[in-house]
Every structure is written in C-alpha cells, then in structure tokens.
Chain A
Amino acid sequence: MSNQEALLEINSLHTGFEIEGKTYHAVKDVSFDVKPKEVVCVVGESGCGKSVMSLSIMNLLPKHNGKIDKGEILYKGRNLVNLNDKEMNKIRGKDISMIFQEPMTALNPVLTIGFQMDEVLINHTSMKREEIRKKSISLLKQVGISRGEQIVHEYPHQLSGGMRQRVMIAMAIACQPQLLIADEPTTALDVTVQAQILELITKIQDEVGMAVLLITHDLGVVAEMADRVVVMYAGQVVEESDVDRIFYDAQHPYTKALLTSIPRMEEEREVLNTISGIVPSLKNMPKVGCRFVDRCPDAMPECSKVDPQLGETEKGHSVRCLLYDASHPGKKTEVR
C-alpha cells in the first residue's frame, strides 16, 4: 500500500490561533498522508490538535483568528492551503467531505432535511430540482433511513442523534467524494448507535471507494476501522504506523500509555490506568524539548533540552522520541 500515490499529503502543517496578538500553534509540524481507499485514524486525547488539523484540511478554521502558517496540504498534488474560498468550495463536499462530532448542532434547525440534503447536490451538480430531490431520497435510503420521502420534509429536531448523523453521512457521500473526514463521528452517540454508524461508514466506504480520515480518541474504534494510525500529542505526530503495530508494538511512551488505559475484559482492576497530568495548554507549551516530558514515565534529562524528531524506526513506522533516535547514541535503550 505504501507504494501507491497518496491521495492526501500533509507536509509540515503548522496551524495557529492568534490570541491577544500572539500566535499559538495548535498543530505544529504535522506530516502524514492518506492513500486512496485507505482508512487512516488520527488518535489522541482532547486538545491534541486533531480537530484543528482536520479543519485545516477543509479550510474551515474560524476565520477571525485561525490560520495555517506553514506547510502544505496536497490533495492529488494540488496545494489546498493557497486556495481561496471560491476555489475551495468546489472541492468541499465534492472531492473531500466531512462529518462532525455533534449531529445535534451540525444541522440547521430551521431548514428541512431535504433542503440541506439538496444543497450539496445543487452546489456541485447541474441536475434538475426533481432529480436532486430523488437523489437525496435515495441517498437517505443508502444510509439506512427507509422513510426518506417523509424525512426530507422534516426538521432536524424531529430526528434522533443517530438519524441526524446518518443524514450528515448521506450529505457527505452525495457527490461520491474521494476522501471523507470524520471528526469523532460517534462520540456524541449512544454506544449501540455508535457501532451502527461505524458499520455504515465502513459499508459506504466500500460502496463509494473513498478514503476515510477518522479522527477519534477511542482506541476501540481504531482497532475496528483503521488501516493506518497516526497518534497525535500536543499538536504533533508522535507515532505513525499500521494498525497492528500500534496495538502490538507501540513504541512511543504516550502510545503505550494510551494502550494501557484501555480496560480489558480478562483482567480485574481496582483502578483504571490513566496518564497523569493533562496536555499542556497552547499558552504553556514547552518552548524546547519533548512536549510529553512532564507526563512521560521514561523521561530522561535530555528530553526537556532537545526537540525530538519524527523518525522511522522500521519501514512504515515512525516515532518522535529520543529513545528511538539513533543520533542520540546511548539513549537507544529498549524500555519495552
């Protein structure tokens, strides 16, 4: 799979927010790629920059203070960072579409489902109104809403959370996109509905033949869905690898800590494992050194003095940690 040409290639992306005249980077030097028809999961705890990263791809950052400072986002070789809104509108919803975390608020409360469904087709196709409405109804059927004919006349508040997320998915796949970005699509839903939605995304991915960039903090979802995994911490990629190696051969102390935080069926535990501390806030980010150092069980004195670089430890497996950095001889101790 690694020989295939990338569909989406992110190179050294820096996304910052301007707060009181100073720019703080929520995403700092993120690079990875997504290949056609691949499911890439981006994992990390709250505040690690996953969502900002995904909004950067769509150029949907809050206009008044968010902006991409550096780096490129190549979609089929075309840099999206420099596109203006008009050019971007031709790509959004057509080539790349997105579904969001909160299906409760993601739909406009005063417009009918039909209006909101049709909109994406009106934006990107030259079909007639009646054809568009027919297509919208058939899309709703495709995502498992059988009474599409009635739903198009209803309003979002008349639907359940799971239904709304299905509507969001139907809108997202209307133009058969090459890439679907799903930003925590199941977080706000009931556990039973979560499974249905993930199943639906997998099914649709097969039918449409699209790649999926799935943002999540749920490692269970990762195990279920991912081909490849990108682990993010404090705005940086700390580990990237295929899904099996993440679960069986995690290298970065943060990834390991995440994995030990998952409760397992077969063991009895009094206390759940947690990673102590929190992600440093944008204002308190260490200027130099590893960003995980304060919470890292394997921290060494050098860790707060040297910026670790993302480096390949084996083919298709990169880690950002001094423990695996060959340029720091003597530090390559196996701590596994």
Chain B
Amino acid sequence: MLLYSLRRILIMFPILIMISVVVFALALAMPGDALSGQIDPQNANPEYIEEMREQLGLNDPVHVQYGRWMAGVVQWDFGRSTVHKMGVTDLIGERLPNTILLSVMSLIITYVLAFIMGRYAGRHPYTIGDYSIQGINYLMLAIPSFVAALFAIFIFSFQFGLFPSSGSVGSGVTPGTLDFWISKLHHTFLPALVLGALTTASYTQFLRNDIIESSQKDYVRTARAKGTPENEIYNKHILRNSIIPIVTLFGFDIASIIGGAVIVETVFSYRGIGELLISSIERRDSAVVIAITLMLSIATLVGNLLADLLYGVIDPRIRVE
C-alpha cells in the first residue's frame, strides 16, 4: 500500500511538469498580457509600454520565461500578481481558507442530503417518496447555479433576511474571535447550501441506483436466508457495497474543495479562489491564473490518488499489495 502510494506520487511529477508547460503556454496564448489590463493604451506612451515589457521580461523567448517561472515555483514563489501588487503565494494563501470552508460545508450538505435521500429512495424504489426525491433532484440539477444563487439571495437574504447576501465575513469583527468564526459560517452557509443542493442530485442518484442493484444481489438473498433483519441487510450488506461508486465522485470533489465554485463565489462576491480566478482572467493577471490552474491540477491528481486508496479500504478485492 505504502509502496503503491509512493509510486503513484512519483508518477505525478512528470504529469505535473507536462501540465505546467500546457498551463503556461495557454496563459501566454491569452490575448494581451499583464500590461494590457493595467494601462490605458490611449494615454500611455508606446515606448514606455515597450520599456516596461522589456523590464518585466515579457519580450523574452517563451522557454526563457518558462524557465524563470519554474525556477520560482520550486522555491514556492509563483510570481507577483500585477493586479493585487502582492506575491501570488500570499494572495492564494489569503483566499484558500475561505474556499475550503465553503467547499467543505457544501460537501457536508451534499453528503448528508444525498445519503438520506439516496438511502430512502434506494430502499423504497418506485414509490411516491422515491419519485418525489427524483423530481426534486432533477429540478436541482436542471437549475443553473447562477439562477439558484440569485433565487437563494432573493428569498433567504432579501425576503427573510436570514443570511447576508454577499461577502465572506462581516465587517468590523476581529479575526480569531468567536464572533469572527460565527460571522464566517453565517456568510458561508447560503452559498454552501446552493452549491451543496445543486450537486446532491448526482450523488443521490448514484446511491439510489446502486442500492437497488445491490439489493438484488445473491449475497443479499444469503443474508435474508440467515434471518438477518432487513435494516441490517441495508446498513451492513448493501450500503458498504453501494458506497464504492460514490468514492469515485469523492475523488473529483477533492479538486473542487480547492477550486471552489467560480459562479457561486462570483454571484455571492465570496472572496474565494473561484472568484479570484475569474477576476484574474478578466484582468490578464497571468501569474495568478497559472498558479491556480496548476494548484487545481495537483488537487485533481491527489484526489484521484486518495479515491484509489479509499477503494482499497472499502473493497478488499481491489486492495493493492
């Protein structure tokens, strides 16, 4: 198991280098560069712009730029954000906790909802309850997230005033105090609910279908033949098997925990990674875009590795030696 994990981690390095090349090339291929987002071409002296380009190294050949960037990366320096005038590492470090809080909260909401609904629907398939759950799920799946976010803001913030409509923390609270954390949770709950509810559908459906399928398996009949109560059959025999496909989704989720939700974060003006990514793309802040994209790639790779290792924990047949 340890050897297998080590091998998987080692394989990740060449993949990461390839990803970094692609990401870097794509960022350079974007029309414009760091200066075009900052300087008004009508008023600036073209010679000055050219001079700045030279100074920032934007006129160097691609491989030189890549080499310089890579040399920074191995020293944990992802360059400077031209928009925020600070190091990319610090910038992401500032946003990451917000995004992780949002994602973990939404994941918890997803898991709890999907587990309750999927289990019920799987155990009572083709009943009114099952059909209602499916109906709700498909509705949620069909609603675009920005529409759901706007509705949530309209209903919960403006009509009932239960949750704030934007931001990630209230103004005037001192970081580290209890009030600060309560305010944070309060701000995060609504976007987390929107995110969580929208992704619940696929989990619920996976779980439901797998429970239905597993409940017709021979080993369930064996358990019944032993006189095992129905509840235990579902909780011990079936659920353990039905969780396996869910783990696959969990692998993808690891990436989304870090990547955040671009659209929902933007609608809620939630200061997370997703919002940072979008605004950086708009303003050609390449260093930030490259760093976030690379980070997401790593998260996806690690997520898949974790999922593969989790399979082994749940299913002894694919336990790796």
Taking Cβ atoms with an 8 Å cutoff, the residues of A that contact B are 58, 60, 62, 64, 85-86, 88-94, 97-98, 100, 102, 105-111, 116, 119-120, 123-124, 155, 157, 168, 171
Q: Collect the chain B residues with CB atoms within 8 Å of residue A89's CB.
A: 227-229
User: Is B222 on the interface with A (CB-CB < 8 A)?
Assistant: yes
Q: Collect the chain A residues with CB atoms within 8 Å of residue B229's CB.
A: 86, 89, 123
Between A and B, how many residue pairs show CB distances below 8 Å? 80
B227 touches A108 (CB 8 A): no
Give the complex CA separation of A155 and B316 in angstroms. Answer: 7
Measured CB to CB, the closest approach of chain B to A265, in angstroms, equals 36
Q: Collect the chain B residues with CB atoms within 8 Å of residue A110's CB.
A: 240-241, 314-317
B227 touches A124 (CB 8 A): yes
Give the complex CA separation of A68 and B185 in angstroms. Answer: 56
- Picked from B126, B216, B236, the residue with its CB within 8 Å of the CB of A111 is B236
A-B contact pairs, 17 of them (CB 8 A): A58-B225, A85-B230, A88-B227, A89-B228, A90-B227, A91-B227, A93-B225, A93-B226, A107-B219, A108-B219, A108-B237, A109-B219, A110-B317, A119-B226, A119-B228, A123-B226, A123-B227
Bits for B236-277, please: 1 = Cβ < 8 Å to A, else 0: 110011000000000000000000000000000000000000
Taking Cβ atoms with an 8 Å cutoff, the residues of B that contact A are 126, 216-219, 221-230, 236-237, 240-241, 314-317
Measured CB to CB, the closest approach of chain B to A107, in angstroms, equals 6
Give the complex CA separation of A64 and B124 in angstroms. Answer: 10
Give the complex CA separation of A168 and B240 in angstroms. Answer: 21
Give the complex CA separation of A107 and B317 in angstroms. Answer: 13
With A93-B226, A108-B237, A124-B227 in contact, is A155–B218 under 8 Å at CB? no
4 tightest A-B contacts by CB? Answer: A93-B227, A93-B226, A105-B218, A92-B227
Give the complex CA separation of A289 and B212 in angstroms. Answer: 40
A105 touches B226 (CB 8 A): no
Q: Collect the chain B residues with CB atoms within 8 Å of residue A93's CB.
A: 225-228
- Closest-by-CB residue of A relative to B314 is A110
- Closest-by-CB residue of B relative to A63 is B215
B225 touches A92 (CB 8 A): yes
Q: Collect the chain B residues with CB atoms within 8 Å of residue A124's CB.
A: 227
Q: Collect the chain A residues with CB atoms within 8 Å of residue B219's CB.
A: 105-109
- Closest-by-CB residue of A relative to B225 is A98
Give the complex CA separation of A123 and B230 in angstroms. Answer: 12
Q: Collect the chain A residues with CB atoms within 8 Å of residue B218's CB.
A: 100, 102, 105-106
B222 touches A123 (CB 8 A): no
Measured CB to CB, the closest approach of chain A to B318, in angstroms, equals 10
B226 touches A171 (CB 8 A): yes
- Picked from A105, A109, A171, the residue with its CB within 8 Å of the CB of B317 is A109
Give the complex CA separation of A127 and B96 in angstroms. Answer: 53
* Contacts A92-B225, A110-B315, A116-B222 known; 20 new A-B pairs at CB < 8 A: A89-B227, A93-B225, A97-B226, A105-B219, A106-B218, A107-B222, A108-B219, A108-B222, A108-B241, A110-B240, A110-B314, A111-B237, A119-B228, A120-B228, A123-B229, A124-B227, A155-B316, A157-B316, A168-B222, A171-B222
